[in-house]
Every structure is written in C-alpha cells, then in structure tokens.
Amino acid sequence: MTDSLLNSKVPEGDIADKWDNYKADMKLVNPNNKRKFKVIVVGSGLAGASAAATLAELGYDVEVFTFHDSPRRAHSIAAQGGINAAKNYRGDGDSVHRLFYDTVKGGDFRSRESNVHRLAHVSLNIIDQMVAQGVPFAREYGGMLDTRSFGGSQLQRTFYARGQTGQQLLLGAYQQLAHQIGLGTVKMWNRVELVDTVIVDGRCAGIVTRDLVTGEVRSHAAHATVMCTGGYGNAFFLSTNAMNCNVTAAWRAHRKGAYFANPCYTQIHPTCIPQADDTQSKLTLMSESLRNDGRVWVPLNAGDERPAAQIPEAERDYYLERLYPSFGNLAPRDISSRAAKRAVDSGRGVGPLKNGVNLDFKDAIARLGADIVKERYGNLFEMYERITGENPYAEPMRIYPASHYTMGGLWVDYELMTTIPGLYAAGEANFSDHGANRLGASALMQGLADGYFVLPYTIGNYLAPMLGKAIPGVDHPEFKAAEQAARTRFQGFLDIGGTRSPDYFHRELGKIIWDYCGMERTEEGLNTALGELPALYEEFKTDLRVTGDGASVNQTLEKAGRVEDFFELGMVMCRDALERRESCGAHFRAEYQDAEGEAQRNDEDFAHVAAWEYTGDPMQSVRHKEELEFETIHLAKRSYK
C-alpha cells in the first residue's frame, strides 16, 4: 500500500487529458499579485535556468543560487548528443503515445505513468521554444530540423546541435535568465552554495547558504523553493559528470524531511573512454549518438592481442547486433553496459588494460564518407583523439561503461513538490520520469519540461492560497539555528586536523560503491558495502585534514561537506539496492536474472517507488512505498531482441 505521505496527486481523467484537467482546475495568482511572492531557485542548469526565467517572466520575485561563477557553468553545458521530442518530423511513426510508451518501457516499468505522459506531451513545445530562442539545431539540406536515433527507440526523434546540444540549449535558457536579471526580476547569486534548508511549521521557509569566496553563512526566506541541483553520479567518484557535481542540496533537504526516492537507480553509460590508470579522477563520455553509426564489437576469442585492423570479420563478435537484432547498437544503456561488462569479463576486452570494447566507424566511413562522419561527430572524434592520442577515423574507439546519470532523487508528486510543502525539485535532482533506466536524450527533455512547462503552473497552485499571509523572516529561530549549525559543521571539518584529504575519502568511498553497488549488485556484496561504508565514514570524522581557513576560497573545505553527504547517500543507495530484491533497468541484482542473463523483475512485490525517510542515521532510514499503477501500459517483459 502507498504510504499516506506519498500522495502523488495525479489528476483525474484519461491519461491524455490529465495535464489539461490539472491546468483547468488549478488555482491562479493574479498577474499583479505575483510579485508579492518570492521564489528561490537553487541551480542554474537547464532545469533551474528555464524555471527561473519563466517564473520571473510571469512576474514572480525570483532569486537564483549557484555555486558556479556563472550560471552557464552548470553541468548541463556538457550534454552532448541530443534532446528527444515526439514531433514526428520524419514521418516514421512517432507520437506522444509512442514516446510515452518507449520511456515507460525504457525505465523497465518503474515510473509513474501520468508524469511520463505529460513529459511526452510537452516535449512538442520544447523544440519550438528553443528554436524561437535561436538554438542552432542541426538542419537538413532543405532547412528542416534534423533528427537522429538514440537508444531504446526505433525512431529518429532526437534533435541535436552537433555534439554540443546541452551547450546550445543552456545558452538559450541562460540568455532568457540573463534578460530577467537585467530587468531586475531575478537576483542572481553566484559562487554561493546551499548548505541547508529551513522548515517552519511544516513548510519550506527558505535556505541557508555559504558564500564560497568569503565563507559568510546567510539565510534567505521565500514562499517557495525549487531544487534544480542536478544528479549524484559523482558518488562513484569516477563518473562522466562535471567534477563538482554533488548531492549536497538534495541531501540537506532530505535530512530536513524530503523523502529520497530510488537512490539505487543509477545509470552506467556504456560509451565512455575506459579508465587509463588508478590515479585518474574523471571519465569522459563519448555520446550515445555515436552508436547511430558506430558498431560495437570485441574479438570472438579471449586473449586475441591483434590490432583491430588485423582481426577478420569472421573473428569479430558484434555482440549487440547478435543479441538484440531489432535495436542492435542502439540497445538501451543498461542492457548495452551489462553486455560490455560481460564481454570484458570474458577476457575479450581491448586496449592496453583490456578494459574496453571497440566502437568502430570503418563501415560508416566506407558508406557515408569521412566528411559526413566528421560533420556529424567531428567534435567528439577530436575530443577522443586529444584524450587517448588515437585517431578514431583510422582505428576503433575504445569504450567502457561509467557512472553517468541518476534516476533516483528527491521524491516529488505530480506537481513536482517534495514531501515538504513549498519545496520543489526539478531536472535530474528529482526522482523523475525515467524509472529504473533513462533513455538517451531524455534528461534534457525532462529538465526543460519541468522548468518551462510544469513548475510555472504548479507553483502558482501552491502560492495562490498564501496571498496576504506573512511568511517567516530570516530572523526566525529556525533560520538562526540552521545558520549556527552550518558554521559549526564547517568549523568542525577544519578542526579535525587528521591526515587524509576529502579527495582521498571520496575515492575510497566511490570505489566501495562502484564495486558493490555499480553495474551488478549481490546481497553479499551490498552487505559488505554496508559494513565498509560506516567504518570509512568514522575514519573520515576523525582523520580528515582540511587545510586553509573558512573565511576565504577553500575548495578543500567545500569538498569536505560534499563528501560527507556522499557518505550518507552511499549508505542509503546500498540499502535501497539491498531491499529491492529484483532486477529492473539499471538495478541488476545478480540473483535475479533469467536464463539469458537478462534482468528479472518482480512486479508482484516491487512495482513501487521506494522513498526513504531520514531518521538521523542513514543506516536506520525508513523505506516507504508509492505503489505504481499501470492503467494505460500493460506490464510486460522488456525485450529489445
């Protein structure tokens, strides 16, 4: 049974009408009254910039916070391959229903139908919105927007701007945000980090921040607060995320009562440049779009040391094409990642460390010519060559799975409100619409859908009844207590005076999570992790060394806080993975697989969202359930064969 606090507030009506019904019934705030409401938006990536610009354009008084020195540095800028939308420009059979279906199936039937349908529905508007802003999407010769394929779909619904789609989209959203900053409707706080959320009388009353340049701790009150703070893929230490992505904002809200949903749903992306040595601190993504034309293979026989060019066709195993003929190289990420792992584990890995598989463009170059391949993927090829020193036009790229995206996050209802009234979460920070596995090119779509087309409506519905009512100011004792707690916490890190850096602990903690809660999980491994993590955390509390002081720029001190939050999150990730006794999407429990090694779901016991409540000790967090109801799509075995 669904826990009573997890009321998803899904509107009545047929799935295709729910969003329209919601908008027809919601409460409105008069345009002249909107400026009386202050809304805090934390984060300036695609979700945050689009939400803030739109709320300000509507008339709300908006403040935006980012720890970056410019909103444009948000991690969204790094997104490469594209953004989905059910435009059906190709006439290849796409529709809102098809995108909805593909997303629910892609997530292995572990997402909320109504949210996903709304996402597919508003995807149509996103492309128009971004084109109107001047985003230079790729176009065909005749001037129509071009599209390509991404994993888990048999259509071409992915719009793109070379391998820089996130950059172009963020520049579009940022431009609108900058316009509002110029108009004075948005106050922008750069290099300021959220370190706590404040709850008064059961509602989110605002946030406490720390200035990363001066160390000043300060409170900010608002009628509503939105977390657009991205995902937690860096819990693994090595990931494709920007180095400073972290879970702190979401985790601090979780500690104050926001439930954290499905933390074990973490996406491992199949096409990243393999790790080169143990000291590496960052992994680089090679976009999934490359699998439109690149073919994935390993030598047929283990221990084959020959260079790729000397291995004849008959001695190559194009394993994705062999195992999943209808989707081939564009099988979804979870499935492709596991297949790559199995190939490498069987001794058929390639490269100096035998830790990769080939992504080969030889056939594409023969078919299309090197110029076309360069036009489509030139910047990605260049990036690959700069990092590896190998020329991917002449020899295959080497790729291997790496932590990339997190489907888990703050639990939100249909309005994107967390379990704390007045606190919302959007973009990768919420547990989102992607179930147990996100399809490629759907994160940008979701971030922009949330920011441009969902929150601007749902926040008004919450604010309307608050008109004329006073909200707690920053002199409220709860704000003062949170400020004091933050100062004490950061001073505490400085005072430990141990021997190990935050980076050391991050690397060690990430290794535990990767080894036991990565691509494959087992009960035994997860129990091992749940023994090792608290022990390492104790060491962190007594042996941490933070150099410098708290009154000037100190990235070691910033990192200490973020690593501490990763420790707590890591424990709940492992507990979530342990409790979910099934395999679904990216959550692969080795005990639950079929004869062909594919994930085996248990719909009877686990067709629900697991939402965790903080109790003061992450090892004692309480697991709640939101049952998932499938009224439109029938639960079926997910197959891409």
Ligand X SMILES: Cc1cc2nc3c(=O)[nH]c(=O)nc-3n(C[C@H](O)[C@H](O)[C@H](O)COP(=O)(O)OP(=O)(O)OC[C@H]3O[C@@H](n4cnc5c(N)ncnc54)[C@H](O)[C@@H]3O)c2cc1C
Residues that bind ligand X (CB under 6 A): 42-48, 65-68, 74-76, 78-83, 165-166, 193-194, 228-231, 240-241, 245, 248-249, 285, 404-405, 427-429, 441-444, 447
201: left (phi over 0), alpha (psi -120 to 50) or beta: left
In angstroms, give the least distance from the CB of 282 to ligand X: 10
Closer by beta carbon to ligand X, 73 or else 476 = 73
In angstroms, give the least distance from the CB of 184 to ligand X: 21
Residue nearest to ligand X (CB): 45
Residue among 236, 199, 253 at smallest CA distance from 426: 253
Rounded Cα gap, residues 359 and 479, in angstroms: 53
In angstroms, give the least distance from the CB of 227 to ligand X: 8
Residue among 143, 126, 144 at smallest CA distance from 89: 144
Rounded Cα gap, residues 371 and 378, in angstroms: 9
8-state DSSP, 205: E
Instruction: List, in order, residues 6 or more apart from 75 with CB less than 8 Å away.
Output: 45, 230, 241, 242, 245
In angstroms, give the least distance from the CB of 408 to ligand X: 13
What tokens appear for 101 in the block?
A: 């279906």
In angstroms, give the least distance from the CB of 592 to ligand X: 28
* Phi, psi (degrees; rounded to nearest 5) at 21: -60, -45
Label residues 259-287 b or e (16+ Cβ within 10 Å = b): bbbbbbbbbbbbbbbbbeeeeeeebbbbb
In angstroms, give the least distance from the CB of 152 to ligand X: 12
Closer by beta carbon to ligand X, 161 or else 578 = 161
Closer by beta carbon to ligand X, 76 or else 621 = 76
In angstroms, give the least distance from the CB of 624 to ligand X: 24
In angstroms, give the least distance from the CB of 299 to ligand X: 28
Closer by beta carbon to ligand X, 222 or else 607 = 222
Instruction: Assign 307 to helix, strand or coil.
Output: coil
With contact defined as beta carbons under 8 Å apart, do 408 and 266 qualify? yes
Closer by beta carbon to ligand X, 81 or else 106 = 81
Rg of the chain in Å (alpha carbons): 24
Closer by beta carbon to ligand X, 67 or else 377 = 67
Closer by beta carbon to ligand X, 444 or else 494 = 444
Closer by beta carbon to ligand X, 195 or else 357 = 195
Rounded to 10°, the helix 502-517/555-579 angle is 20
In angstroms, give the least distance from the CB of 256 to ligand X: 14
In angstroms, give the least distance from the CB of 248 to ligand X: 4
Residue among 553, 456, 512, 566 at smallest CA distance from 235: 566
Closer by beta carbon to ligand X, 174 or else 592 = 174
Instruction: Assign 321 to helix, strand or coil.
Output: helix
Residue among 271, 456, 254, 289 at smallest CA distance from 376: 289
Closer by beta carbon to ligand X, 66 or else 418 = 66
Instruction: List, in order, residues 6 or more apart from 540 with CB less than 8 Å away.
Output: 500, 505, 563, 564, 567
Closer by beta carbon to ligand X, 187 or else 362 = 187
8-state DSSP, 621: P
- Strands 608-613 and 622-627 turn out to be antiparallel
In angstroms, give the least distance from the CB of 172 to ligand X: 13
**How many C-beta neighbours within 10 Å does residue 35 have?**
14
